[in-house]
Amino acid sequence: MVTAYYAINFVIATILAFIYVYIWNKHYDTNITLIFMLICISNMAYFLMYSNTNPEAAMISLKVLYFGGCLLPWFITMSVVNLCQFELKNIIRMIMFVINCLMYCCVLTAGHFPLYYKKVDFIMVDNKWVINKEYGPLHALFYVVIAFYMSLSIGIIIYTYTKKKQVSRKILYLLVIPEITSMLSYFLNHVGVRSLELVPVTYNISLFVYLLIVKSMSMYDVSDMVIQSMVETGNTGFVSVDFKHHYLGSNETAKRIMPQLYDLAVDQSLDSVDAFKDSVLYWIKHFEKNEGAGNNSYIIERTTEDNKQESYKVEVNYLYNGKKKIGYQIFLSDDTQNQRYIKLLDKYNSELEEEVATKTERIVMMHNNLVLSMATMVESRDNSTGGHIKRTSEGVRILIEEMKKDNELNLSEDFCANIIKAAPMHDLGKIAVDDAILRKPGRFTPEEFEVMKSHASEGAKIVHEILKSTENETFQVLAENVAHYHHERVDGSGYPVGLKGDDIPLEARIMAIADVYDALVSKRVYKEKMSFEEADKIIMEGMGTQFDEKLKKYYVSARPKLEEYYSKQ
Protein backbone atom coordinates (compact mmCIF):
# COMPACT_ATOMS: atom_id res chain seq x y z
CA MET A 1 0.00 0.00 0.00
CA VAL A 2 2.79 2.41 0.95
CA THR A 3 4.75 1.52 -2.16
CA ALA A 4 1.66 2.05 -4.32
CA TYR A 5 1.18 5.50 -2.79
CA TYR A 6 4.68 6.63 -3.77
CA ALA A 7 4.45 4.88 -7.13
CA ILE A 8 1.23 6.73 -7.96
CA ASN A 9 2.78 10.06 -6.99
CA PHE A 10 5.81 9.33 -9.16
CA VAL A 11 3.58 8.41 -12.14
CA ILE A 12 1.49 11.57 -11.66
CA ALA A 13 4.64 13.72 -11.52
CA THR A 14 5.93 12.06 -14.69
CA ILE A 15 2.63 12.63 -16.54
CA LEU A 16 2.57 16.29 -15.49
CA ALA A 17 6.17 16.64 -16.66
CA PHE A 18 5.25 15.15 -20.05
CA ILE A 19 2.36 17.61 -20.34
CA TYR A 20 4.76 20.44 -19.59
CA VAL A 21 7.19 19.24 -22.26
CA TYR A 22 4.30 18.98 -24.74
CA ILE A 23 3.12 22.56 -24.18
CA TRP A 24 6.64 23.90 -23.65
CA ASN A 25 7.43 27.30 -25.12
CA LYS A 26 10.95 28.70 -25.44
CA HIS A 27 9.83 31.79 -23.51
CA TYR A 28 9.00 29.79 -20.37
CA ASP A 29 11.03 30.50 -17.24
CA THR A 30 14.01 28.12 -16.98
CA ASN A 31 13.45 27.81 -13.23
CA ILE A 32 10.02 26.25 -13.80
CA THR A 33 11.50 23.70 -16.23
CA LEU A 34 14.04 22.67 -13.57
CA ILE A 35 11.28 22.50 -10.93
CA PHE A 36 9.45 19.89 -13.05
CA MET A 37 12.67 17.90 -13.47
CA LEU A 38 13.63 18.00 -9.77
CA ILE A 39 10.16 17.06 -8.55
CA CYS A 40 10.12 14.04 -10.86
CA ILE A 41 13.52 13.02 -9.47
CA SER A 42 12.35 13.54 -5.86
CA ASN A 43 9.14 11.53 -6.32
CA MET A 44 11.14 8.76 -8.01
CA ALA A 45 13.51 8.78 -5.01
CA TYR A 46 10.56 8.47 -2.60
CA PHE A 47 9.29 5.47 -4.56
CA LEU A 48 12.71 3.79 -4.67
CA MET A 49 13.43 4.47 -1.00
CA TYR A 50 10.23 2.85 0.19
CA SER A 51 10.29 -0.05 -2.29
CA ASN A 52 13.88 -1.22 -1.90
CA THR A 53 15.07 -4.22 0.14
CA ASN A 54 18.66 -3.07 0.36
CA PRO A 55 19.82 -0.63 3.04
CA GLU A 56 22.59 0.78 0.83
CA ALA A 57 20.08 1.44 -1.96
CA ALA A 58 17.77 3.07 0.56
CA MET A 59 20.60 5.40 1.64
CA ILE A 60 21.31 6.35 -2.00
CA SER A 61 17.62 7.01 -2.60
CA LEU A 62 17.56 9.22 0.48
CA LYS A 63 20.46 11.28 -0.82
CA VAL A 64 18.85 11.58 -4.27
CA LEU A 65 15.64 12.69 -2.51
CA TYR A 66 17.53 15.42 -0.70
CA PHE A 67 19.09 16.55 -3.99
CA GLY A 68 15.65 17.76 -5.03
CA GLY A 69 14.74 18.84 -1.51
CA CYS A 70 17.79 21.09 -1.19
CA LEU A 71 17.66 22.71 -4.65
CA LEU A 72 13.90 23.01 -5.14
CA PRO A 73 13.44 25.88 -2.63
CA TRP A 74 15.98 27.97 -4.57
CA PHE A 75 14.40 27.32 -7.99
CA ILE A 76 10.88 27.90 -6.66
CA THR A 77 11.92 31.20 -5.08
CA MET A 78 13.71 32.31 -8.27
CA SER A 79 10.59 31.54 -10.31
CA VAL A 80 8.59 33.73 -7.91
CA VAL A 81 11.20 36.49 -8.28
CA ASN A 82 11.00 36.36 -12.08
CA LEU A 83 7.23 36.05 -12.35
CA CYS A 84 6.77 38.96 -9.93
CA GLN A 85 9.30 41.03 -11.90
CA PHE A 86 11.24 41.54 -8.69
CA GLU A 87 14.78 42.93 -8.92
CA LEU A 88 17.34 40.65 -7.26
CA LYS A 89 21.04 41.16 -7.82
CA ASN A 90 23.01 38.31 -9.35
CA ILE A 91 25.44 38.20 -6.43
CA ILE A 92 22.53 37.58 -4.03
CA ARG A 93 21.19 34.82 -6.28
CA MET A 94 24.62 33.21 -6.34
CA ILE A 95 25.08 33.39 -2.55
CA MET A 96 21.67 31.76 -2.01
CA PHE A 97 22.46 29.00 -4.51
CA VAL A 98 25.83 28.30 -2.89
CA ILE A 99 24.11 27.98 0.53
CA ASN A 100 21.74 25.38 -0.92
CA CYS A 101 24.61 23.46 -2.47
CA LEU A 102 26.50 23.47 0.84
CA MET A 103 23.35 22.24 2.53
CA TYR A 104 23.25 19.30 0.13
CA CYS A 105 26.93 18.60 0.80
CA CYS A 106 25.95 18.22 4.46
CA VAL A 107 23.34 15.63 3.43
CA LEU A 108 26.04 13.64 1.65
CA THR A 109 27.83 13.16 5.00
CA ALA A 110 24.98 10.89 6.16
CA GLY A 111 26.34 7.46 7.04
CA HIS A 112 29.89 8.83 7.30
CA PHE A 113 29.81 11.70 9.80
CA PRO A 114 27.25 12.55 12.52
CA LEU A 115 26.71 16.09 11.15
CA TYR A 116 23.42 15.90 9.32
CA TYR A 117 22.26 12.57 10.81
CA LYS A 118 23.68 11.42 14.14
CA LYS A 119 22.42 7.96 13.46
CA VAL A 120 20.78 6.12 10.58
CA ASP A 121 19.17 2.74 11.22
CA PHE A 122 17.55 0.49 8.64
CA ILE A 123 14.50 -1.33 10.00
CA MET A 124 12.77 -4.16 8.13
CA VAL A 125 9.01 -3.52 7.98
CA ASP A 126 6.85 -5.76 5.76
CA ASN A 127 9.94 -6.95 3.92
CA LYS A 128 10.91 -3.31 3.21
CA TRP A 129 13.83 -1.35 4.58
CA VAL A 130 12.65 1.76 6.40
CA ILE A 131 15.17 4.34 7.52
CA ASN A 132 15.05 5.37 11.14
CA LYS A 133 16.91 8.69 11.41
CA GLU A 134 18.28 10.64 14.33
CA TYR A 135 18.92 14.23 13.22
CA GLY A 136 22.28 15.90 13.72
CA PRO A 137 23.06 19.59 14.40
CA LEU A 138 23.19 20.60 10.70
CA HIS A 139 19.73 19.24 10.00
CA ALA A 140 18.25 22.30 11.68
CA LEU A 141 19.88 24.33 8.89
CA PHE A 142 17.63 22.59 6.38
CA TYR A 143 14.49 23.81 8.16
CA VAL A 144 15.93 27.30 8.54
CA VAL A 145 16.63 27.48 4.80
CA ILE A 146 13.19 26.10 3.92
CA ALA A 147 11.52 28.63 6.24
CA PHE A 148 13.63 31.45 4.78
CA TYR A 149 12.68 30.65 1.19
CA MET A 150 9.00 30.29 2.01
CA SER A 151 8.98 33.60 3.90
CA LEU A 152 10.88 35.34 1.11
CA SER A 153 8.53 34.01 -1.58
CA ILE A 154 5.38 34.97 0.35
CA GLY A 155 6.87 38.40 1.07
CA ILE A 156 7.65 39.02 -2.62
CA ILE A 157 4.15 37.90 -3.66
CA ILE A 158 2.51 40.23 -1.11
CA TYR A 159 4.77 43.13 -2.11
CA THR A 160 3.98 42.59 -5.79
CA TYR A 161 0.26 42.36 -5.12
CA THR A 162 0.21 45.68 -3.24
CA LYS A 163 2.77 47.67 -5.28
CA LYS A 164 2.79 46.38 -8.87
CA LYS A 165 -0.27 46.57 -11.05
CA GLN A 166 1.46 45.22 -14.18
CA VAL A 167 1.75 41.68 -12.80
CA SER A 168 -1.19 39.31 -13.30
CA ARG A 169 -3.25 38.82 -10.13
CA LYS A 170 -4.18 35.36 -11.39
CA ILE A 171 -0.52 34.30 -11.44
CA LEU A 172 0.02 35.75 -7.96
CA TYR A 173 -2.93 33.77 -6.57
CA LEU A 174 -1.58 30.58 -8.16
CA LEU A 175 1.92 31.17 -6.76
CA VAL A 176 0.54 31.19 -3.23
CA ILE A 177 -0.86 27.64 -3.53
CA PRO A 178 2.49 25.73 -3.65
CA GLU A 179 3.77 27.76 -0.72
CA ILE A 180 0.73 27.03 1.44
CA THR A 181 0.57 23.30 0.58
CA SER A 182 4.32 22.93 1.28
CA MET A 183 3.96 24.54 4.71
CA LEU A 184 1.00 22.29 5.55
CA SER A 185 2.84 19.13 4.50
CA TYR A 186 5.92 19.96 6.62
CA PHE A 187 3.69 20.87 9.57
CA LEU A 188 1.56 17.70 9.39
CA ASN A 189 4.61 15.48 8.96
CA HIS A 190 6.17 16.92 12.11
CA VAL A 191 3.16 16.88 14.42
CA GLY A 192 2.61 13.16 14.30
CA VAL A 193 1.14 12.38 10.90
CA ARG A 194 4.00 10.10 9.82
CA SER A 195 2.35 7.11 8.24
CA LEU A 196 2.91 8.58 4.80
CA GLU A 197 5.09 11.40 3.55
CA LEU A 198 2.84 14.24 2.33
CA VAL A 199 5.61 16.02 0.42
CA PRO A 200 5.13 13.97 -2.83
CA VAL A 201 1.47 15.04 -2.91
CA THR A 202 2.35 18.70 -2.39
CA TYR A 203 4.98 18.36 -5.12
CA ASN A 204 2.33 17.16 -7.58
CA ILE A 205 -0.07 19.89 -6.54
CA SER A 206 2.72 22.36 -7.20
CA LEU A 207 3.36 20.87 -10.66
CA PHE A 208 -0.33 21.15 -11.55
CA VAL A 209 -0.35 24.78 -10.39
CA TYR A 210 2.78 25.52 -12.42
CA LEU A 211 1.05 24.11 -15.50
CA LEU A 212 -1.70 26.67 -14.96
CA ILE A 213 0.91 29.38 -14.42
CA VAL A 214 2.86 28.68 -17.63
CA LYS A 215 -0.39 28.64 -19.59
CA SER A 216 -1.15 32.12 -18.27
CA MET A 217 2.44 33.33 -18.66
CA SER A 218 2.30 33.23 -22.46
CA MET A 219 -0.80 35.44 -22.37
CA TYR A 220 0.60 38.03 -20.00
CA ASP A 221 4.11 38.21 -21.46
CA VAL A 222 3.12 40.90 -23.94
CA SER A 223 6.57 41.44 -25.45
CA ASP A 224 7.11 37.79 -26.36
CA MET A 225 3.52 37.38 -27.49
CA VAL A 226 3.74 40.38 -29.83
CA ILE A 227 7.08 39.25 -31.28
CA GLN A 228 5.75 35.72 -31.76
CA SER A 229 2.65 37.10 -33.47
CA MET A 230 4.79 39.26 -35.76
CA VAL A 231 6.91 36.26 -36.69
CA GLU A 232 3.93 34.01 -37.31
CA THR A 233 2.06 36.49 -39.53
CA GLY A 234 5.06 36.62 -41.86
CA ASN A 235 4.89 40.39 -42.41
CA THR A 236 7.90 41.32 -40.29
CA GLY A 237 11.49 40.34 -40.94
CA PHE A 238 14.27 40.16 -38.36
CA VAL A 239 18.01 40.33 -38.93
CA SER A 240 20.42 40.04 -35.99
CA VAL A 241 24.02 41.31 -36.13
CA ASP A 242 26.59 41.55 -33.34
CA PHE A 243 28.73 44.60 -32.58
CA LYS A 244 31.53 43.28 -34.83
CA HIS A 245 29.04 43.04 -37.73
CA HIS A 246 28.91 39.25 -37.63
CA TYR A 247 25.65 37.79 -38.94
CA LEU A 248 23.72 36.04 -36.13
CA GLY A 249 20.59 34.99 -38.01
CA SER A 250 17.30 36.05 -39.59
CA ASN A 251 13.80 34.73 -40.13
CA GLU A 252 12.27 33.58 -43.42
CA THR A 253 10.46 36.87 -43.99
CA ALA A 254 13.75 38.76 -43.85
CA LYS A 255 15.31 36.31 -46.30
CA ARG A 256 12.39 36.75 -48.68
CA ILE A 257 12.78 40.53 -48.53
CA MET A 258 16.59 40.35 -48.84
CA PRO A 259 17.46 37.13 -50.74
CA GLN A 260 21.20 37.80 -50.19
CA LEU A 261 20.70 36.51 -46.63
CA TYR A 262 20.25 32.97 -47.96
CA ASP A 263 23.93 32.93 -48.95
CA LEU A 264 25.19 34.13 -45.56
CA ALA A 265 26.65 31.77 -43.00
CA VAL A 266 26.07 32.37 -39.29
CA ASP A 267 29.05 34.26 -37.78
CA GLN A 268 30.10 35.51 -41.24
CA SER A 269 31.24 39.15 -41.27
CA LEU A 270 28.98 41.47 -43.26
CA ASP A 271 31.96 43.75 -43.91
CA SER A 272 33.22 41.26 -46.47
CA VAL A 273 29.93 41.20 -48.43
CA ASP A 274 29.45 44.09 -50.87
CA ALA A 275 25.71 43.45 -51.14
CA PHE A 276 25.19 44.67 -47.56
CA LYS A 277 27.33 47.81 -47.63
CA ASP A 278 24.48 49.98 -48.90
CA SER A 279 21.81 48.29 -46.81
CA VAL A 280 22.43 46.54 -43.47
CA LEU A 281 25.86 48.08 -42.82
CA TYR A 282 24.65 51.55 -43.85
CA TRP A 283 21.64 51.27 -41.52
CA ILE A 284 23.84 50.17 -38.61
CA LYS A 285 26.40 52.92 -39.27
CA HIS A 286 23.67 55.55 -39.39
CA PHE A 287 22.16 54.18 -36.17
CA GLU A 288 25.53 54.29 -34.39
CA LYS A 289 26.06 57.89 -35.53
CA ASN A 290 22.58 59.19 -34.75
CA GLU A 291 21.58 57.08 -31.77
CA GLY A 292 18.77 58.90 -29.90
CA ALA A 293 19.20 62.00 -32.08
CA GLY A 294 17.06 61.36 -35.11
CA ASN A 295 14.95 59.04 -37.14
CA ASN A 296 16.56 55.58 -37.58
CA SER A 297 13.96 54.21 -39.97
CA TYR A 298 14.18 53.79 -43.74
CA ILE A 299 11.97 52.67 -46.60
CA ILE A 300 13.18 50.06 -49.09
CA GLU A 301 11.42 48.93 -52.25
CA ARG A 302 11.44 45.53 -53.91
CA THR A 303 9.74 44.05 -56.96
CA THR A 304 8.11 40.64 -56.54
CA GLU A 305 8.27 37.82 -59.07
CA ASP A 306 4.86 38.89 -60.42
CA ASN A 307 6.18 42.47 -60.88
CA LYS A 308 4.33 43.94 -57.91
CA GLN A 309 5.98 46.72 -55.98
CA GLU A 310 6.43 46.21 -52.24
CA SER A 311 7.63 48.69 -49.63
CA TYR A 312 9.24 47.78 -46.31
CA LYS A 313 9.98 49.99 -43.35
CA VAL A 314 13.41 49.33 -41.83
CA GLU A 315 14.11 50.11 -38.17
CA VAL A 316 17.33 49.49 -36.24
CA ASN A 317 17.57 48.94 -32.48
CA TYR A 318 19.93 47.27 -30.06
CA LEU A 319 19.83 43.50 -29.64
CA TYR A 320 19.67 42.49 -25.97
CA ASN A 321 20.56 39.38 -24.07
CA GLY A 322 18.71 40.08 -20.84
CA LYS A 323 19.74 43.64 -20.05
CA LYS A 324 23.07 43.44 -21.88
CA LYS A 325 23.46 44.91 -25.36
CA ILE A 326 25.06 42.35 -27.65
CA GLY A 327 24.44 43.77 -31.12
CA TYR A 328 21.81 45.17 -33.46
CA GLN A 329 18.32 44.02 -34.34
CA ILE A 330 16.99 45.10 -37.74
CA PHE A 331 13.23 44.98 -38.26
CA LEU A 332 11.70 44.94 -41.75
CA SER A 333 7.94 45.48 -41.66
CA ASP A 334 5.56 45.52 -44.61
CA ASP A 335 4.68 49.15 -45.30
CA THR A 336 3.32 48.74 -48.84
CA GLN A 337 -0.20 49.97 -48.20
CA ASN A 338 1.00 52.91 -46.15
CA GLN A 339 3.53 53.97 -48.82
CA ARG A 340 0.88 53.69 -51.53
CA TYR A 341 -1.38 55.88 -49.46
CA ILE A 342 1.43 58.41 -48.91
CA LYS A 343 2.24 58.51 -52.64
CA LEU A 344 -1.44 58.91 -53.47
CA LEU A 345 -1.75 61.66 -50.87
CA ASP A 346 1.38 63.39 -52.17
CA LYS A 347 0.03 63.24 -55.70
CA TYR A 348 -3.31 64.60 -54.55
CA ASN A 349 -1.60 67.38 -52.58
CA SER A 350 0.61 68.26 -55.56
CA GLU A 351 -2.39 68.44 -57.87
CA LEU A 352 -4.30 70.46 -55.29
CA GLU A 353 -1.35 72.82 -54.80
CA GLU A 354 -1.05 73.26 -58.57
CA GLU A 355 -4.77 73.96 -58.85
CA VAL A 356 -4.67 76.40 -55.93
CA ALA A 357 -1.57 78.07 -57.36
CA THR A 358 -3.24 78.42 -60.77
CA LYS A 359 -6.40 79.92 -59.29
CA THR A 360 -4.37 82.14 -56.96
CA GLU A 361 -2.31 83.30 -59.91
CA ARG A 362 -5.49 84.18 -61.78
CA ILE A 363 -6.86 86.09 -58.80
CA VAL A 364 -3.56 87.95 -58.38
CA MET A 365 -3.50 88.73 -62.09
CA MET A 366 -7.08 90.04 -61.93
CA HIS A 367 -6.15 92.10 -58.88
CA ASN A 368 -3.06 93.52 -60.57
CA ASN A 369 -4.97 94.28 -63.75
CA LEU A 370 -7.62 96.07 -61.70
CA VAL A 371 -4.99 98.18 -59.97
CA LEU A 372 -3.24 98.87 -63.29
CA SER A 373 -6.57 99.85 -64.84
CA MET A 374 -7.22 102.27 -62.02
CA ALA A 375 -3.75 103.75 -62.44
CA THR A 376 -4.29 104.05 -66.20
CA MET A 377 -7.62 105.75 -65.58
CA VAL A 378 -5.93 108.24 -63.25
CA GLU A 379 -3.18 108.78 -65.78
CA SER A 380 -5.75 109.58 -68.46
CA ARG A 381 -6.86 112.57 -66.39
CA ASP A 382 -3.30 113.88 -66.07
CA ASN A 383 -1.67 116.32 -68.46
CA SER A 384 1.09 113.87 -69.37
CA THR A 385 1.34 112.34 -72.82
CA GLY A 386 0.48 108.92 -71.39
CA GLY A 387 2.57 105.82 -70.67
CA HIS A 388 4.05 107.27 -67.44
CA ILE A 389 2.99 104.21 -65.43
CA LYS A 390 4.56 101.76 -67.84
CA ARG A 391 7.78 103.76 -68.20
CA THR A 392 8.35 104.34 -64.48
CA SER A 393 7.73 100.65 -63.76
CA GLU A 394 10.40 99.73 -66.33
CA GLY A 395 12.73 102.37 -64.87
CA VAL A 396 12.34 100.81 -61.42
CA ARG A 397 13.01 97.35 -62.86
CA ILE A 398 16.23 98.52 -64.55
CA LEU A 399 17.47 100.16 -61.32
CA ILE A 400 16.64 97.02 -59.29
CA GLU A 401 18.58 94.82 -61.73
CA GLU A 402 21.70 96.92 -61.18
CA MET A 403 21.23 96.91 -57.41
CA LYS A 404 20.97 93.11 -57.35
CA LYS A 405 24.36 92.68 -59.05
CA ASP A 406 26.42 93.55 -55.96
CA ASN A 407 23.50 93.37 -53.47
CA GLU A 408 25.34 95.66 -51.10
CA LEU A 409 21.92 96.73 -49.79
CA ASN A 410 20.99 93.08 -49.15
CA LEU A 411 17.74 93.20 -51.12
CA SER A 412 15.53 90.13 -50.93
CA GLU A 413 13.84 88.60 -53.96
CA ASP A 414 10.46 89.47 -52.47
CA PHE A 415 11.45 93.13 -52.07
CA CYS A 416 12.65 93.36 -55.66
CA ALA A 417 9.50 91.75 -57.04
CA ASN A 418 7.20 93.80 -54.80
CA ILE A 419 8.63 97.23 -55.67
CA ILE A 420 8.33 96.51 -59.41
CA LYS A 421 4.72 95.42 -58.83
CA ALA A 422 3.99 98.49 -56.65
CA ALA A 423 5.49 101.07 -59.04
CA PRO A 424 2.27 101.55 -61.13
CA MET A 425 0.41 102.50 -57.94
CA HIS A 426 2.59 105.46 -56.99
CA ASP A 427 0.26 108.17 -58.45
CA LEU A 428 -3.14 106.65 -57.57
CA GLY A 429 -3.76 109.59 -55.22
CA LYS A 430 -4.20 111.92 -58.20
CA ILE A 431 -7.74 110.56 -58.50
CA ALA A 432 -8.60 112.81 -55.53
CA VAL A 433 -7.22 115.98 -57.22
CA ASP A 434 -9.66 118.25 -59.09
CA ASP A 435 -9.42 118.15 -62.91
CA ALA A 436 -8.91 121.90 -63.11
CA ILE A 437 -5.68 121.56 -61.18
CA LEU A 438 -4.61 118.17 -62.46
CA ARG A 439 -4.99 119.17 -66.14
CA LYS A 440 -3.69 122.72 -65.83
CA PRO A 441 -1.18 123.31 -68.69
CA GLY A 442 1.01 125.84 -66.89
CA ARG A 443 2.64 126.22 -63.51
CA PHE A 444 0.58 125.81 -60.34
CA THR A 445 -0.14 128.66 -57.97
CA PRO A 446 1.04 128.04 -54.37
CA GLU A 447 -2.51 127.12 -53.41
CA GLU A 448 -2.90 124.77 -56.37
CA PHE A 449 0.48 123.16 -55.63
CA GLU A 450 -0.63 122.45 -52.04
CA VAL A 451 -3.68 120.66 -53.41
CA MET A 452 -1.49 118.80 -55.90
CA LYS A 453 0.88 117.66 -53.15
CA SER A 454 -2.03 115.99 -51.34
CA HIS A 455 -2.03 113.22 -53.95
CA ALA A 456 0.81 111.46 -52.08
CA SER A 457 -1.14 111.12 -48.81
CA GLU A 458 -4.36 110.33 -50.62
CA GLY A 459 -2.56 107.72 -52.70
CA ALA A 460 -1.35 105.95 -49.54
CA LYS A 461 -4.94 105.84 -48.23
CA ILE A 462 -6.29 104.48 -51.52
CA VAL A 463 -3.56 101.80 -51.72
CA HIS A 464 -4.30 100.82 -48.11
CA GLU A 465 -8.01 100.34 -48.86
CA ILE A 466 -7.28 98.36 -52.02
CA LEU A 467 -4.76 96.02 -50.37
CA LYS A 468 -6.06 95.75 -46.80
CA SER A 469 -7.63 92.34 -47.42
CA THR A 470 -4.53 90.89 -49.08
CA GLU A 471 -2.55 88.19 -47.25
CA ASN A 472 0.74 89.74 -48.37
CA GLU A 473 1.15 92.37 -45.66
CA THR A 474 4.75 93.08 -46.73
CA PHE A 475 3.61 94.09 -50.23
CA GLN A 476 0.81 96.23 -48.77
CA VAL A 477 3.23 98.23 -46.60
CA LEU A 478 5.74 98.63 -49.45
CA ALA A 479 3.07 99.82 -51.94
CA GLU A 480 1.75 102.36 -49.41
CA ASN A 481 5.28 103.67 -48.85
CA VAL A 482 5.87 104.07 -52.60
CA ALA A 483 2.65 106.07 -53.02
CA HIS A 484 3.14 108.11 -49.81
CA TYR A 485 6.82 109.04 -49.90
CA HIS A 486 8.00 109.07 -53.55
CA HIS A 487 8.11 112.92 -53.47
CA GLU A 488 10.20 113.10 -50.28
CA ARG A 489 13.77 114.46 -50.59
CA VAL A 490 16.79 113.26 -48.63
CA ASP A 491 17.51 116.85 -47.51
CA GLY A 492 14.06 117.00 -45.88
CA SER A 493 12.53 119.55 -48.27
CA GLY A 494 10.15 117.10 -49.93
CA TYR A 495 6.48 116.36 -49.26
CA PRO A 496 4.04 115.38 -47.82
CA VAL A 497 5.85 114.69 -44.50
CA GLY A 498 9.33 116.15 -44.98
CA LEU A 499 11.29 113.01 -44.13
CA LYS A 500 15.07 113.10 -44.35
CA GLY A 501 17.75 110.60 -45.38
CA ASP A 502 17.24 106.96 -44.37
CA ASP A 503 13.93 107.86 -42.70
CA ILE A 504 12.52 107.74 -46.21
CA PRO A 505 11.74 104.07 -47.05
CA LEU A 506 14.20 102.61 -49.57
CA GLU A 507 11.39 101.72 -51.97
CA ALA A 508 10.29 105.39 -52.08
CA ARG A 509 13.87 106.58 -52.69
CA ILE A 510 14.18 104.20 -55.66
CA MET A 511 10.78 105.24 -57.00
CA ALA A 512 11.76 108.92 -56.78
CA ILE A 513 14.68 108.48 -59.22
CA ALA A 514 12.57 106.58 -61.76
CA ASP A 515 9.67 109.08 -61.42
CA VAL A 516 11.80 112.22 -61.89
CA TYR A 517 13.87 110.69 -64.70
CA ASP A 518 10.71 109.87 -66.64
CA ALA A 519 9.32 113.37 -66.04
CA LEU A 520 12.55 114.91 -67.42
CA VAL A 521 12.99 112.83 -70.59
CA SER A 522 9.29 112.60 -71.51
CA LYS A 523 7.18 115.18 -73.33
CA ARG A 524 4.37 116.85 -71.43
CA VAL A 525 1.69 119.26 -72.69
CA TYR A 526 3.45 122.05 -70.87
CA LYS A 527 7.05 121.17 -71.93
CA GLU A 528 9.23 119.35 -74.39
CA LYS A 529 11.32 116.38 -73.35
CA MET A 530 14.91 116.95 -72.26
CA SER A 531 17.94 115.27 -73.73
CA PHE A 532 19.48 112.41 -71.87
CA GLU A 533 22.51 114.59 -71.07
CA GLU A 534 20.40 117.38 -69.56
CA ALA A 535 18.30 114.91 -67.56
CA ASP A 536 21.42 113.11 -66.34
CA LYS A 537 22.96 116.42 -65.21
CA ILE A 538 19.86 117.27 -63.15
CA ILE A 539 19.71 113.80 -61.59
CA MET A 540 23.42 113.80 -60.72
CA GLU A 541 23.21 117.30 -59.22
CA GLY A 542 20.30 116.13 -57.09
CA MET A 543 22.28 113.25 -55.56
CA GLY A 544 22.64 113.95 -51.84
CA THR A 545 19.90 116.61 -51.80
CA GLN A 546 16.87 115.28 -53.67
CA PHE A 547 18.03 111.71 -54.19
CA ASP A 548 19.85 109.17 -52.00
CA GLU A 549 23.63 109.39 -52.53
CA LYS A 550 23.91 105.60 -51.89
CA LEU A 551 21.79 104.97 -55.01
CA LYS A 552 24.06 107.10 -57.23
CA LYS A 553 26.26 104.22 -58.42
CA TYR A 554 23.23 102.14 -59.33
CA TYR A 555 21.72 104.99 -61.35
CA VAL A 556 25.05 105.51 -63.13
CA SER A 557 25.34 101.83 -64.05
CA ALA A 558 21.65 101.74 -65.08
CA ARG A 559 21.85 104.91 -67.23
CA PRO A 560 22.83 103.18 -70.52
CA LYS A 561 19.85 100.79 -70.22
CA LEU A 562 17.52 103.68 -69.29
CA GLU A 563 18.65 105.67 -72.34
CA GLU A 564 18.28 102.61 -74.55
CA TYR A 565 14.75 102.01 -73.27
CA TYR A 566 13.59 105.63 -73.62
CA SER A 567 15.13 105.86 -77.08
CA LYS A 568 12.57 103.30 -78.25
CA GLN A 569 9.55 105.06 -76.71
Does residue 384 carry a pLDDT above 90?
no
Cβ neighbours of 227 (radius 10 Å): 14
Provide the mean pLDDT of the chain.
82
Q: pLDDT tens for residues 528-547?
A: 889 999 999 999 999 999 99
Q: Say how far apart CA 369 and CA 384 lie, in whole Å.
A: 21
Region 374-399: mean pLDDT is 73
Can you name the CATH fold of 226-334?
Answer: Beta-Lactamase (3.30.450)
Q: pLDDT tens for residues 142-187?
A: 788 888 888 999 999 999 889 887 788 888 888 888 888 877 776 6
> Any idea which of 329-333, 382-386, 471-475 has the lowest mean pLDDT?
382-386
- Decide the pairing of beta strands 297-303 and 324-334: unpaired
- pLDDT of res. 363: 59
Confidence of residue 8 (pLDDT cuts 50, 70, 90): very high
More confident residue, 204 or 50: 204
| Residues ≥6 apart with Cβ < 8 Å to 291 | none
- pLDDT of res. 303: 74
Give me the residue spans of the domains in the chain.
Answer: 2-220, 226-334, 358-567
- pLDDT of res. 230: 55
Can you name the CATH fold of 2-220?
Answer: Rhopdopsin 7-helix transmembrane proteins (1.20.1070)
Confidence of residue 49 (pLDDT cuts 50, 70, 90): confident
- pLDDT of res. 386: 54
Task: Find the radius of gyration of the CA atoms of the chain.
Answer: 48
CATH code for the structural domain at 358-567: 1.10.3210.10
Positive or negative: CA dihedral 55, 57, 63, 68: negative
Q: Indicate the residue type of 207.
A: L
Beta bridge partners of 96: none
- Taking CA atoms, 475 is separated from 78, 198, 281, 376, in Å, by 75, 96, 52, 20
- pLDDT of res. 184: 76
Q: Say how far apart CA 230 and CA 419 lie, in whole Å.
A: 61
Does residue 291 carry a pLDDT above 70?
no
Region 317-333: mean pLDDT is 84
Q: pLDDT tens for residues 111-134?
A: 677 777 777 666 666 665 566 677
Contacts within 8 Å (CB) and 24+ apart, 401-407 = 401/558, 401/561, 402/554, 402/557, 402/558, 402/561, 403/510, 403/551, 403/554, 405/557
